Amino acid sequence: MSRPIRVLVAKPGLDGHDRGAKVVAAALRDAGMEVIYTGLHQTPEMIATAAVQEDVDVVGLSVLSGAHMTLFPRVRALLAEQGRDDILITGGGIIPAEDMAALEALGVGKLFGPGTPTTDLIDYIRSWFAAREPQGT
């Protein structure tokens, strides 16, 4: 890779549990990615604005509240409105398999559940980035 992958990790909504998001953020950083962690209680608008301002490649959302069917599509729509539908939206949390499939059908990237090795997410992001980033830039 010619440049580090830039990832914004966010905790949308009222869910106050961020241990998993912090573990993921640290793993991505340790894998050589530039990571911005926005902290708890972020609105979709705050997340999309930060993603655009920070010029990230990837937004990773950690959702444990059950609001995933609202939050993921809203962040995606807000990014598209700002001309940044090229940003990968991925993430994880407590998300039923059928909801993961529905979100992927809406254009959200692969989602990961509890207990997934962080290497799976790292490999997924690297693969996505390599497929879209011209070599040698």
Q: Which two tokens stand for residue 5?
A: 């992958």
Q: What are the sequence ranges of the domains in the chain?
A: 6-128
What's the confidence (pLDDT) of residue 15?
83
Question: Is the pLDDT assigned to residue 55 strictly greater than 50?
Answer: yes
pLDDT recorded at residue 16 = 86
Superfamily classification of domain 6-128: Cobalamin-binding domain (3.40.50.280)
pTM: 0.95
Residue written as token pair 């440049």: 3
Residue 40 reports pLDDT greater than 90: yes
